[in-house]
Structure 1
Amino acid sequence: MLNLFVVIFVWLLNSFATPYYLPAETPQAIKPDWELVKNQKGIKVYTKVMPGYSLKAFKGTVRINTDSDACLALLQDFDSYHTWMHTCPESKLVRQVSKYEHYVYTVTDAPWPITDRDLISHCLATTDASGTITIALSCAPNEIPEKSNRIRIKKLDGYWKLTPVNATTTDVVYQAVSDSGGSVPAWAANMTMTDVPFYTLLNMKSKLEK
């Protein structure tokens, strides 16, 4: 079915873990160990420290006035990521295993003087009995050769979750954590943890509600 996203993004991101079902999760059902860092325009962004990762995990939530199939179709349109995924100037499908499983290449445009990152995400979509679609994201760094002008991200865990509220409304959750593949200044890391999920979801909502 899909992919994303990826971008994944955290130096990253953008964003995509083996197949599994995740419990239904809505913007109102965030676990207490997540810290709310931004709440604007109907979008909430949370972060928390994850053992084994150099960067904090982020989680963004939003309610979009469209059906879950439209959300999935956008996440499957890999070539369009640059039009709505924050800091993602380039993306492409690397390999399709099935309509549910893809490998996707994305680039993260890092602020100067930080070197741009790239990522190959393994994206696997499942649907549970309630109709919730989960796209599990993991890292496949050896899928294509590394590029000399970019740092390859080699550790990622995340997902997109599309939960139907009704026939015309979907709750979207975008969560990811990764290693940056090298040192990243604190100001850049903090900006990424907030801006990537916020602007990605804001752009996604705007695109789907046109």
Structure 2
Amino acid sequence: MMNTMFRKFHTFTPMFFGLFFLPNFVKVALPQDNFKNDFIESEFKQKEFDIIGNIEKSFEHIEWEPVLKKEGLIIQRKKLGKKSIFALKSTGILEAPIESIITLFRDTKRAYLWAPGLKQRTLLKNISELEAVVYDIHEMPWPCQDRDVVMFNSIKLLKSRKQIALISSSIENYKLDPRPGNKVRAELHYSFIGLTPISKNKTFVEFFIHVDPKGSIPKWLVNHIVKTRPYSFLKAIEKSASKTPANLGKDALKLVDLLRSILSNEKFISGSL
């Protein structure tokens, strides 16, 4: 029974690694005034900036602790301040085109086909092709309660990093939050996937995540179980994206084209970011 619980719990953190799914369908016409009533966009723009800043500059004095090196992927972790859950970092090369990886993340309807343990994903607000608010329910092993989370997801071109970044973080007190009483609300401090195409069918990935499942699960157990999960998650992306035809809208395609233009003028060296 304990082994079964461990196997199921292994899927929990990778679920949050796939939080960037954005709607891949025609934009629904909704009054912007209504949207502003329940979502203060400027606050989350600032939060995006803070996430990037934390990744680039915060806690530089703390060394990343090596966890795993396998099949070209490097997994590391570090404890951020007094927070007892480790932040995780992974870098490597995925055998899949950047366009297909972004297409995979945007396809909410088919996310369950490859995202481990994803029980339900609901689009709460389709802001644009590059931004959305979603609600996820993630299955947990008995006797743990399922976890849920509301997230703001965005896709950005970061010229200084030569990346298209898939950025996600939790939202609190969102007006459209279903908030069922039988779930434990997890906290996604940040999830950041930086993608850089290095050839037609290869993409360099730089992945950061810091998530707390909350509830009564001991923090030491969370840290022990999830420390190698980025490897499984990234390999799942690689497997699925390599079979996914590229299907990007004009806004996402524009970002990819701009990034390729930047890279054509500047030599990119993987691992140099």
Q: Would you say same fold, with TM above 0.5?
A: yes
What residue is the counterpart of 1:3 in the other structure?
none
Of all paired residues, the percent bearing the same amino acid is 22
Deviations 1:135-193 (A, max 9, x none): 22111133313122211124521211111112321112232112322231333442123
What residue is the counterpart of 2:239 in the other structure?
206
* Cα separation, 1, equivalents of 2:92 and 2:110: 20
What residue is the counterpart of 1:153 in the other structure?
186
The Cα shift of 1:82 comes to: 2.0
Residue 214 of structure 2, aligned match among 165, 181, 191: 181
Cα 1:121/1:21, change in 2 over 3 Å = closer
* Cα separation, 2, equivalents of 1:15 and 1:52: 26
Q: Tell me the matched-pair count.
A: 197
What residue is the counterpart of 2:163 in the other structure?
132
What residue is the counterpart of 1:106 in the other structure?
136
* Cα separation, 1, equivalents of 2:134 and 2:63: 31
User: What SS does structure 2 have at the residue aligned with 1:115?
Assistant: coil
What residue is the counterpart of 1:162 in the other structure?
195
Write the letter of the residue equivalent to 1:141.
E
**2:15 counterpart of 1:15:** no
Gaps of 5+ in 1: 1-7, 26-30
Cα 1:54/1:142, change in 2 over 3 Å = farther
More helix by share: 2
User: What SS does structure 1 have at the residue aligned with 2:238?
Assistant: helix
Q: Is the 8 A contact 1:67 1:169 kept in 2?
A: yes
The Cα shift of 1:118 comes to: 1.0
The Cα shift of 1:11 comes to: 9.1
**2:87 counterpart of 1:53:** no
* Cα separation, 1, equivalents of 2:111 and 2:236: 10
Q: Is the 8 A contact 1:107 1:119 kept in 2?
A: yes
Write the letter of the residue equivalent to 1:111.
P
What TM-score comes out, normalization by structure 2 length?
A: 0.62
User: What SS does structure 1 have at the residue aligned with 2:96?
Assistant: coil
What TM-score comes out, normalization by structure 1 length?
A: 0.79
Deviations 1:40-73 (A, max 9, x none): 2333222111125341111223312222111111
What residue is the counterpart of 1:66 in the other structure?
96
Q: Is the 8 A contact 1:53 1:179 kept in 2?
A: no
Choose between structure 1 and 2 for higher RCO, CA contacts under 8 A separated by at least 6 residues: 1
More strand by share: 1
Cα 1:66/1:180, change in 2 over 3 Å = closer
What residue is the counterpart of 1:4 in the other structure?
none
Deviates more, 1:155-164 or 1:129-138: 129-138
* Cα separation, 2, equivalents of 1:21 and 1:137: 9
* Cα separation, 1, equivalents of 2:118 and 2:206: 19
What residue is the counterpart of 2:173 in the other structure?
142
Write the letter of the residue equivalent to 1:77.
D
Cα 1:108/1:42, change in 2 over 3 Å = farther
Q: Is the 8 A contact 2:18 2:105 kept in 1?
A: no
Q: Is the 8 A contact 1:67 1:170 kept in 2?
A: yes
What residue is the counterpart of 1:194 in the other structure?
228
Residue 147 of structure 2, aligned match among 91, 94, 117: 117
Rg (Cα) greater in structure: 2
